[in-house]
Structure 1
Amino acid sequence: MNKLKSIDHELRATWQAVAKVYNEQAVKHDSTMATAFVLLNIDKLNGTPSTALGPLMGMEPTSLSRILKTMEDKGAISREKNPDDGRSVIIKLTEYGKEMRKISKAYVIQFNETVMENVSEEDLAGFFKVTSTINKLIADKDIYENANKNKAV
């Protein structure tokens, strides 16, 4: 298959470009896109249970643990015992973390506004419809399991 007509290639190449542009901005604040993503997913008022963060962001526990350790070392988050479950902790933003969250949010807003200024509402709706369909096909395991029933691999 021609990579220029491959859906997964286009998704991957676009995501890598987005990650690169976000990382270029994050490095100006001694941060990374992954750290900013975590900051934006922590409830700024009540914090978020550590066990909920990984699934919320689609991130593996090992990767998330490394990011949280770095964030804690930099003073962006604190860990508190979860009063509802003694086995887990609540990740809370420090004042520094809240400031970094504001900066991260501003970059995300600017990115989205710039894209929206350059893409029609109809095209953007189509983009969201396609990505939603791809995610549903994957979640429902309809990509390979059903497709391979009638095909020889």
Structure 2
Amino acid sequence: MRDRPDLAAMTETLSRALVEAERPVLAEHGLTMWAYVVLLALGDRPLRTQAALAESIGADKTRIIAVLDGLQGRGLIDRVPDPGDRRARLLSLTPEGRRVRDAARRGIRAMEERVLARLAEEDREPFLRALRTLSALAPGFP
């Protein structure tokens, strides 16, 4: 086996660089990383509770309240009482939330394409396929 850096060392370096490259793109749309994560997680799915959202994105449910307040204040999400549990709130994207999410995603994808262009054309799809496979393992890994 050839010597190589540990996977964590390689992916952490790449992850930090990608996060830093995303910050200006998100700032153009008035989003923080957590706000973008929330918009992506809500997607076009049915309504979900704040607790379920927090769990799905790996955030403490009390820590995302300020993010949700900001998104709601901008008209990007709706929060309505859950008819089955008036203490819970159901979340959904507004049309403006979808527009902002999609615009931010397009900007991030354009930046990612510039990164992927550093790979040989024949290496891009195998790299993305391997990354998808390994990323899918993450919640239950090791």
Shift of 1:98: 2.5
Q: 2:130 aligns with which of 123, 126, 129?
A: 126
Q: Counterparts of 2:133 and 2:52 in 1: how far apart (Å)?
A: 26
Q: How does 1:2-151 map to 2 (within 5 A)?
A: 5-44=5-44, 46-110=46-110, 118=119, 119-133=123-137, 135-138=139-142
Determine which structure has greater relative contact order: mean sequence separation of CA pairs < 8 Å that are 6+ residues apart, divided by chain length: 2
Deviations 1:2-39 (A, max 9, x none): xx823222222211111112111011122222211211
Shift of 1:113: 5.2
Q: Which one is further off, 43-52 or 18-27?
A: 43-52
- In structure 1, stretches of 5+ residues that fail to align are 139-153
| Partner SS state of residue 27, structure 2 | helix
Identity over aligned residues, as a percent? Answer: 19
Structure 1: which amino acid aligns with 2:124? S
- In structure 2, stretches of 5+ residues that fail to align are none
| Partner SS state of residue 5, structure 1 | coil
Displacement over 6 Å in runs of 4+? none
- Hey, what does 1:143 align to over in structure 2? none
Q: TM-score, normalised by structure 1?
A: 0.69
Q: Counterparts of 1:111 and 1:104 in 2: how far apart (Å)?
A: 11
Q: TM-score, normalised by structure 2?
A: 0.74
Shift of 1:90: 0.8
Contact 2:50 2:61 (C-alpha < 8 Å) held by counterparts: no
Deviations 1:60-110 (A, max 9, x none): 223322211221232322210112332211112233322212213323544
Report the number of matched residues.
135
Shift of 1:111: 5.1
Q: CA RMSD in A?
A: 2.7
